[in-house]
Amino acid sequence: MANREELGIIRGARAGDAVSQLALGKLYLFGGASLPRSMPTALHWLSRAAQQQQDEAWMLIGHHIPFEYAQHCQPAVLPWYDRAYDAGVAPAGLVLAQLVLGQPMAPSCRALRAKAMAALESAARDGSAEAQQLLASQRGETAAPAIAAPAAAAGVDGPAWSGPGAVQFAALEQAWQAHDYRGYLRAALPLARAVLQGAPADAEAARVAAWPVEPQQVQLLARCAEALDGLAEHDPELQQCRELAAHGGDRQAQLALGLWFARMNCAGERLAAGIAAVNFKRAIRWLTLAGEQGMAEAWYALSRIYLKPEFSQRSVAEAQAYLERAAEMGHRVAQLECGVYAWRTRRNGELSDVRAAYWLQKAAAQGCAEAEAVLAKIAAPVAAPGWTEAVLPLLTRALADSQPLLAARIELASLFGLTRAETLLLDVKAADHGHCLVVDIRASYGRSKRRLILLRTAQQRQALDRIVRQFEHVDSGPDGLEGNYRQRLYRLKTWLGAGMPSLLAA
């Protein structure tokens, strides 16, 4: 549920304000108070801000938006990665290379291809596995130079380890992408064992010894651990690979290690197999590290831990905080639980039902049927009332120009099925909560009931934005420009009454 400040930023961005577009892009990039992280949406708004000379926008794109999102809008975002790389943003160089070298380009773009190749070579030297693979394919190499990696830890000598050549790396990548775990392990385990031979026994020992690890090693160990876990083989090697990969910063390994120490799965269900004695302290440490790297499942698992009766630091408040963090990052079950919790506790806060609708809509958008069922209880489907059907044909351009606010209210009623009293008395600005419309006129019309109307389509959102802009500088209270209910009703009747005898009699 977007708060007031974020709603103002959204409206400004949609109206074309460059500063608002930059601010909205940053909210979606890093996550706001109530807006979830969304890389595609962040890229959209940052790109629009960059087009309006907001230099920070293309710097953020170069630093934080990876190739998997940039590839879908290449022509529009390519200049931003080019600028960011020129400004010294190293991650932008790899994405630039992936965008430019992954497709044929016109001869006039040879200078850009040369720059992309230089960026790719720099990223490959820094140990990027993606850069090394792309560089090998560009050069048509059959082998790549060995990548030296430390093989000794804490003063213990071990055999030297060298990374896979280009052909071997491509075979490993192909097997991994095809989910051929047995084939991957046949080629990867010898390399992983060379790393493990001189490595500490676990992550704690690696931390104490400050064991150095290369990014390519981390990926190798993490993938071996995941493949071994899927095949339920080589338990000792599985655990050592997982712990060392987690020490190296692999978020998937950190998540798996945290769940192992908690002896549960991602849904919080207790597992029969796992560590002999549950260690919640170490589980929380690894799950927190994984969550800080964007793993929504880690925050959800933490929320389950803080609800466990056997956990000495059990806290419902902590559990709810972690649950909301998971929901903000797109975890469907967390969104459903946040929505259901807000709905059940709606008597504790006036806007609890609004918050419930927000989370349930998020879960429903991801295909959660249970969320849709709860939404049906919170807000009934919009049904156009008969009175607007008779009024709309009478709305000529001349009438709308003479009474723009009243015309906007009638359009709002037609869109969202408002009664006549709701149409005339609704505070349009206060009613808009981004994802829903809160219809509450009880202060002026005692017979009415408070209700929520969900915004289901982009057309509804656009129409509501346009209508709200008309009321931005208007006091919609009974002492404002529009007057009280009797005055507004009289204006409606005299404005359209000649063509509507039934309205005059109402």
pLDDT of amino acid 316: 92
d(CA 288, CA 27): 22
pLDDT of amino acid 331: 92
Max distance between CA atoms of the chain, in angstroms, equals 97
Mean pLDDT of 322-336: 92
Within 10 angstroms of residue 285's Cβ, the number of other Cβ atoms is 17
d(CA 453, CA 432): 10
Q: φ, ψ for residue 148 (rounded to 5)?
A: -70, 140
Q: φ, ψ for residue 453 (rounded to 5)?
A: -125, 120
Sign of CA dihedral 396, 400, 403, 407: positive
Structure tokens at 79: 């200049």
The torsion region of residue 200 among left (phi > 0), alpha (psi -120 to 50) and beta comes to: beta
Higher pLDDT residue, 274 or 247? Answer: 247
pLDDT of amino acid 208: 62
Within 10 angstroms of residue 428's Cβ, the number of other Cβ atoms is 20
Structure tokens at 22: 């930059």
d(CA 18, CA 12): 8
Query: Is a pLDDT exceeding 90 seen at residue 39?
Result: no
Structure tokens at 356: 């419930």
Asked if residue 1 lies in contact with residue 434, where contact means CB atoms within 8 angstroms, the answer is yes
d(CA 427, CA 446): 15
User: Read out DSSP for 312-340?
Assistant: TT--HHHHHHHHHHHHHTT-HHHHHHHHH
Q: Please enumerate in sequence order all residues whose Cβ is within 8 A of that of 220, keeping only pairs 6 or more positions apart, or say none.
A: 188, 191, 192, 195
Query: Is a pLDDT exceeding 80 seen at residue 13?
Result: yes
Sign of CA dihedral 59, 61, 64, 67: negative
Query: Is a pLDDT exceeding 80 seen at residue 343?
Result: yes
**Count of alpha carbons within 13 angstroms of residue 84, beta-carbon side:** 27
pLDDT of amino acid 497: 62
Torsion of CA 309, 315, 321, 325, to 10 degrees: -40
Most confident of the ranges 107-111, 143-147, 377-381: 377-381
- pLDDT band, residue 142 (cuts 50/70/90): very low
pLDDT of amino acid 155: 37
Q: Which residues of 59-74 are buried (b: 16+ CB within 10 A; e: fewer)?
A: bbbbebbebebbeeee
Helix pair angle (110-125, 74-86), 10° resolution: 60
Q: What is the mean pLDDT of the chain?
A: 80
Asked if residue 452 lies in contact with residue 379, where contact means CB atoms within 8 angstroms, the answer is yes
Query: Is a pLDDT exceeding 90 seen at residue 255?
Result: yes
Asked if residue 171 lies in contact with residue 187, where contact means CB atoms within 8 angstroms, the answer is yes
Asked if residue 360 lies in contact with residue 375, where contact means CB atoms within 8 angstroms, the answer is yes
Percentage of the residues of the chain whose pLDDT score is greater than 90? 13
pLDDT in tens, 451-489: 898 888 888 888 888 898 888 887 766 666 777 778 888
Most confident of the ranges 42-46, 129-133, 152-156: 42-46
